[in-house]
Amino acid sequence: RQDGRGPRRGHRRCRCPPSSGGSRLPPSGSAPPQVCGVALVAIGIYAQVALDKALVASTASAAGTPVAILVLGIIIFFISFFGCCGAWKESYCMVTTFAVLLSIIFLVEVAAAIAGYVFKDKVRSVLEDRLWDAMNKYGEDKVLTERVDELQRRFFCCGANNYTDWSSIERFRVNNTVPQSCCRVNSTSSPLCPQGCLQSIEAWMKEKILIVAPVALGIAFFEILGIVFACCLMKGIRSGYEVM
């Protein structure tokens, strides 16, 4: 019997999919990757400035690492907006793409961290070669001469391993001297810096790593959080499609 109090018999009631105000995750779920992007940009700028002051001669790896971190931070920042747009429009395809891209970036970062640990001795070897090259050109190349002097004054060091390294260079071996930058100003004891620059740079890098490592772990946590948010949102969107 048909009346105004209910639907006709034999007809199914139409059910609407759950709205975005229900169990769906809010678009702010992409905020953690945005934080990661900003943090990586900051780390990239910090590393670029710090390495520029520490290295006497830039190498492709030394110059490229801060730039790579900076670019990665910018990429993550824009990917997070892509995920935010997908969450706002409830687009399963966009949210899935966001989760996949963020997962790939996370795996690349893990691989880079492992590679950096495995090849740390290689980095020291390259740094030593560059330092020796700069020392051999001391007095001939104005830029390298200034960088070596700046390095030795900044880290209170002399030579690659110690001050005797300068005796292997002809112009200093003849007179049995070292560059003026090897001497400490207003020193009451020995004015000559006994420590080599390699040891000083290694100690400086370890100090900076202790600062960067907690930030890197925080970035990894937020990236995982962003991936989890995206997966939950994908599940919510798909459930809505199934109800429809």
The amino acid sitting at 213 is A
pLDDT digit string (tens) for the chain, length 244 residues:
444 454 444 444 434 344 444 334 444 445 556 566 666 667 666 666 666 555 555 555 555 666 777 787 788 878 877 777 877 887 888 888 888 988 998 898 888 888 878 887 787 888 888 889 889 999 888 888 988 998 888 888 999 999 899 999 888 888 888 999 998 776 656 678 888 998 988 888 888 788 878 888 888 888 888 888 888 888 887 776 544 4
Determine the pLDDT at residue 32.
59
* Fold topology of 124-198: Cd81 Antigen, Extracellular Domain; Chain: A (1.10.1450)
Question: Quick one: DSSP state of residue 8?
Answer: P
Determine the pLDDT at residue 47.
65
Determine the pLDDT at residue 46.
64
CA 17 to chain centre: 42
Domain boundaries, the chain: 27-121+212-243, 124-198
Q: Biggest alpha carbon distance in the chain? A: 116
pTM: 0.64
User: What is the chain's length?
Assistant: 244
CA 86 to chain centre: 26
Determine the pLDDT at residue 22.
39
- Decide if 29 contacts 82 (C-beta within 8 A): no
Q: Which residues pair with 183 in a beta bridge?
A: 192
